[in-house]
Amino acid sequence: MLKIEHLKKRYKTGPWVLKDISFEVPDGEIVGLIGPSGAGKSSLIRCVNRLIDPTDGNIQLDDVNLSSLSAGKIREQRRHIGMIFQEYALVERLSVMENVLSGRLGYLPFWRSFLRRYPEQDIDNAFEYLERVGLIDHANKRADELSGGQRQRVGIARALAQDPRLLLVDEPTASLDPKTSRQIMRLIQSICREKSLSAIINIHDVPLAMQFVDRIIGLQGGEIVFDGKPEALTEDVLTRIYGDEDWTSVKPDEDDLENGEAA
Amino acid sequence: MGELEQKLVWHGRTKRKAWMVWGGWFAITLLTIYCWMEMTEDTIWFFVLDAPVQAADLIDRMFPPEWSYIHLLYKALWDTLNIATLGTLLGVILAFPVAFLAARNTTPSVVFVRPIALLIIASSRSINSLIWALLLVTILGPGILAGVIAIGLRSIGFVAKLLYESIEEVNGTSVEAIESTGASRFQTINYAIIPQILPAFLGITIFRWDINIRESTILGLVGAGGIGLFLSSSLNVLAWPQVTLIILVILATVVVSEFLSAKVRELLI
């Protein structure tokens, strides 16, 4: 279980980007984090794995307090937190397999990773994850030979290779077409279900979020303004999160859900 | 639609700017005239007028090149190539860690370590390889070793500077992604940074090798081995046909090395 208490963040002397954020994510729950650009979504998930340091507050994963760990100790904890990025963030000149295996770096001493001497078990697992995301035939290709959707699948396999307890997902579909977006969201959702992983997904696409997550948290100006089931996301709530707009066309109607194709 | 009251006129420059540009050109003209007068103060115009005759005389004495002399040059040319290649290797090996210490995103400390790395780069770049060779010949005695080290020291700055700039330009999210797996600092460099800078690194190395071929041809002038040694001795005894041959050999070597370097870099990019 992930527990965030009174999390605050400001960059140097800038304004507060996160003001007193508190929520809990039970094991196996998928949380969609929505909100306008600049609401602090990215900062929030980067505070969890300490890619940035929170200014104040507590972040607790199971029984470890992540926010107070030293730089050396946080590395151990990062192994348990998989992260998936908007622009895939693969190392493009490495092979697909190397990218997936790089999820194991936190478990290996430098010389083994330098010589690419991975334990047999890690390699077997990596093949399994590639199979799971449907890229088993591409293991030896260079990452920059793949399409956007395929690259994101490699990103997912890399996160899986970490054997994580929590997934942090930053705009997984922002660079993808609508169909691929759905496939990727569906993949993330089903993987979370299989391994009863919890996940926090930053996402701009509200209908997509409502379709694939268990719970939605709306962030606005660094504060939580909505926390509840996707069905409770009414036009009023959307206005509270994003400001005035005609929301009628944004809500997913039945057609969308059945065809699996959004405009 | 109402008619425009008056036609809007657009000027590329405001009046003030136009005057400033005019004033600038005027100042440059004055400066040029002044410098020309300073420069030619000590010129003995008789010699300048005589120059075409002197040049013709020298060229007359330089041709034809003394082709039979070439068998003595093979060994010297080989030495020169070795100085350039080994010197590049030495420079690159030393430059590699310096670049990582100098790059903002990989240096262990921006306040302490980075300035030292930048100082190493600046001092290596500010001293010409001929001066390095002069110093090293004094320390190590004449020979190829002094040449190799001179080229190596000179190359550190060039390679480290270009390399650290490309380290600073790597894709940050890939680095973030590797860090987020729990990788250590060295693992992050190995997995996220080195693959991204590898093409630039090889390109820089080849480029520096090509420059070093040119630089190593003259190191012999101060006793650091190679073909320059022969150039200097031929110049000393006014053996002009030999000088011509040596210059032609250097020219051919440089043309070939530039061609190779361009080809290899084309393949990399």
What are the residues facing A168 on neighbouring strands?
A: A83, A200
Cα torsion at B84, B86, B90, B92 (round to 10°)? 60
What ipTM does this complex have? Answer: 0.86
Averaged pLDDT, A122-146: 91
Residue A246: pLDDT over 80? no
Strands of the sheet with A166-170, listed across from one edge: A81-84, A166-170, A198-202, A30-34, A215-220, A223-228
Q: Which amino acid is at B118?
A: L
Residue A68: pLDDT over 90? no
Residue A259: pLDDT over 80? no
Averaged pLDDT, A28-38: 90
CB–CB of A78 and B176 under 8 A? no
CB–CB of B182 and A93 under 8 A? no
Averaged pLDDT, A239-258: 67
CB–CB of A113 and B181 under 8 A? no
Residue A248: pLDDT over 50? yes
Does residue A147 lie within any of the structural domains? yes
The confidence score (pLDDT) of residue A263 equals 38
Largest CA distance in chain B: 90
Q: Which amino acid is at A171?
A: E
CATH number at residue A65: 3.40.50.300
Domains, chain B, ranges and CATH?
67-268 (1.10.3720.10)
Q: Which amino acid is at A146?
A: L
**Banded pLDDT at A127 (limits 50, 70, 90):** very high
The domain containing residue A61 runs over which residues? 2-257
The confidence score (pLDDT) of residue B56 equals 87
Q: Select the residue of A49, A102, A162 nearest B191 (Cβ to Cβ).
A: A102
CB–CB of B182 and A90 under 8 A? no
Q: Select the residue of B179, B187, B192 nearest A51 (Cβ to Cβ).
A: B179
The confidence score (pLDDT) of residue B32 equals 95
Does residue A262 lie within any of the structural domains? no
The confidence score (pLDDT) of residue B262 equals 85
The confidence score (pLDDT) of residue A71 equals 80
Show residues of chain B in contact with A89, CB under 8 Å: 171, 173-174, 176-177
The confidence score (pLDDT) of residue B6 equals 74
**Banded pLDDT at A204 (limits 50, 70, 90):** confident
B221 Cβ under 8 Å from any chain A Cβ: no
CB–CB of B180 and A83 under 8 A? yes
The confidence score (pLDDT) of residue A260 equals 43
For the entire predicted model, the pTM comes to 0.79
Show residues of chain A in contact with B200, CB under 8 Å: none
CB–CB of A105 and B198 under 8 A? no
Q: Concatenated DSSP letters for A70-113?
A: -HHHHHHHHTTEEEE-TT----TTSBHHHHHHGGGGGGS-HHHH
Residues of chain B with confidence (pLDDT) below 70? 1-5, 269
The 3-state secondary structure of chain B reads: CCCCCCCCCCCCCCHHHHHHHHHHHHHHHHHHHHHHHHHHHHCCHHHHHHHHHHHHHHHHHHCCCCHHHHHHHHHHHHHHHHHHHHHHHHHHHHHHHHHHHHCCCCCCCCCCHHHHHHHHHHHHHHCCHHHHHHHHHHHHCCCHHHHHHHHHHHHHHHHHHHHHHHHHCCCHHHHHHHHCCCCCHHHHHHHHHHHHHHHHHHHHHHHHHHHHHHHHCCHHHHCCCCHHHHHHHHHHCCCHHHHHHHHHHHHHHHHHHHHHHHHHHHHHC
The confidence score (pLDDT) of residue A69 equals 85
Does residue A263 lie within any of the structural domains? no
Q: Which two tokens stand for residue B212?
A: 């070093």
B184 Cβ under 8 Å from any chain A Cβ: yes
CB–CB of B183 and A49 under 8 A? no
**Banded pLDDT at A258 (limits 50, 70, 90):** very low
CB–CB of A77 and B182 under 8 A? yes
Strands of the sheet with A2-10, listed across from one edge: A16-25, A2-10, A56-61, A64-65
Averaged pLDDT, A153-162: 93
In this structure, the strands spanning A198-202 and A166-170 are parallel
Does residue A78 lie within any of the structural domains? yes
Domain count, chain A: 1
Summarised one tens digit per residue, pLDDT across range A92-114 is 889 999 999 999 999 999 999 99
B182 Cβ under 8 Å from any chain A Cβ: yes
The confidence score (pLDDT) of residue A262 equals 41
Does residue A233 lie within any of the structural domains? yes
The confidence score (pLDDT) of residue A216 equals 92
For chain A, give the mean pLDDT. 87
Show residues of chain B in contact with A77, CB under 8 Å: 182
Does residue A6 lie within any of the structural domains? yes
From B180, which residue of chain A is nearest by alpha-carbon distance? Answer: A78
The confidence score (pLDDT) of residue A103 equals 92
Do residues A191 and A156 make contact, with C-beta atoms less than 8 angstroms apart?
yes
